[in-house]
Amino acid sequence: MSEHADQPLYRAYDTALLDLDGVVYAGPRAIDHAVESLAEARAAGMRLAYVTNNASRTPKAVAEHLTELGVAAEPEDVITSAQAAARVVAGKVPAGAAVLVVGGEGLLEAVREHGLRPVRSLDDDPAAVVQGYDATVGWQQLAEASYAVASGLPWVASNTDLTIPTARGTAPGNGTLVAAVRTATGVEPEVAGKPLPPMHRETVIRTGAKRPLVVGDRLDTDIEGAYNGGVDSLLVFTGVSRPEELPEAPAKYRPTYLAADLRGLLRVQPALSAGDGGSYRCGGWTVELRDGALVLAERGEDSYDGLRALCAAAWAAADAPGGSTPKWREALASLGL
């Protein structure tokens, strides 16, 4: 776990790789404190890149949405799973090859960017299949994909998120559409998006990041993606994941830093330090292990520093040879999160 106790995160890392929905915005509105926090981080010299598993919209469309919300962004600041998938496909087929595209404009543009020719039917002699979410995808596109995959063509999926959030609630995501083709063919696709390495490689290629920090709200995509990429992460609690998911999280779901929201980019993140008997200290908070349970021995100011100390103690106990996770619910409740 990296530590930068002497400087805010926007100075410790050169690039923030930011998830969008649940971190920067929630549907049509910006999340509280996001606009001003990102502006301050950018003004201090941090590169901001917006990384999304949504393959339907083009980077230009995403940048325009961000700008409307007050977040200054250009198309080159946006990295999508469509771009990651198109790069994977380009590595599998000859230059200029036809590719069967199951998806919308975001995926079509990404395929063209690599000099490939999008087509919509197996009759057009494609060399591969690439699939990403779009609201227009229906039976005909899924059937063409199934015919092509069953014929033995390489199949790349932008991501396999089963659901997507919409203004009306939760709707089927690309993973659900991929499942239809998988069921019809018995074939598994190669997946490009978060949390898998192709997406991380795409962000690094496009941003030139040397010291990236992944910022997200989901343990199973954002934080796991950072783990797979071998980089640090900041989990914010403005979206999906909740504090009670952390104490028993496996290693791949363990963030480096925790914050209520994007203001966490602006503050000095205090160092974690281990004490005797399985105790941990962070930012004035001390969590001790007593009789198989974690307890708050000292209190500080920011409860998320206390959560970091609690998680560090829980993870250390669980990871020890023959270890197990101590009781932690009472200590977590005492944090008041």
86-139 residue pLDDT tens: 999 999 999 999 999 999 999 999 999 999 999 999 999 999 999 999 999 999
Please answer whether residues 110 and 85 qualify as being in contact, where contact means their C-beta atoms are separated by less than 8 angstroms.
yes
Three-state helix/strand/coil letters over 113-180:
HCCCEEECCHHHCCCEEEECCCCCCCHHHHHHHHHHHHCCCCEEECCCCCEEEECCEEEECHHHHHHH
pLDDT 10s digits, 185-194: 999 999 999 9
Q: Where are the domains of the chain?
A: 9-53+196-265, 82-190, 272-335
Annotation marks residue 123 as catalytic:
no
From the candidates 6, 14, 19, 291, give the one annotated as an active-site residue.
19
Please answer whether residues 272 and 282 qualify as being in contact, where contact means their C-beta atoms are separated by less than 8 angstroms.
yes
Top-level CATH class of 9-53+196-265? Answer: alpha beta
Q: What is the per-residue pLDDT for 308? A: 97
Which residue has better confidence, 3 or 221?
221
Cα 327 from Cα 248, distance rounded (Å):
10
Q: By three-state DSSP, how is residue 100 classified?
A: strand
Consecutive H or E run containing 237: none
Consecutive H or E run containing 292: none
pLDDT 10s digits, 247-269: 999 999 999 999 999 999 999 99
Q: What is the per-residue pLDDT for 1? A: 46
Cα angle value 215/218/219 (rounded, 5°):
100
Closest CA to 119 of 105, 94, 136, 102: 102
What number does CATH give the domain 82-190? Answer: 3.40.50.1000
Q: What is the per-residue pLDDT for 116? A: 98
What are 2's two structure tokens?
């990296």
Q: 84: phi > 0 → left, psi -120 to 50 → alpha, else beta; which?
A: alpha
Tell me which residue has tokens 């700008």.
67
Annotation marks residue 134 as catalytic:
no
Question: Own/partner pairs for 172-178, CB < 8 Å, 24+ apart?
Answer: 173/133, 174/53, 174/55, 174/131, 174/132, 174/133, 177/102, 177/131, 177/133, 177/137, 177/142, 178/131
Q: What is the per-residue pLDDT for 2? A: 53
From the candidates 21, 77, 232, 302, give the one annotated as an active-site residue.
21
Cα angle value 227/12/193 (rounded, 5°):
30
Cα 32 from Cα 45, distance rounded (Å):
22
Q: What is the mean pLDDT of the chain?
A: 95
Please answer whether residues 32 and 261 qualify as being in contact, where contact means their C-beta atoms are separated by less than 8 angstroms.
yes
Cα 298 from Cα 146, distance rounded (Å):
59
pLDDT at 28 over 90: no
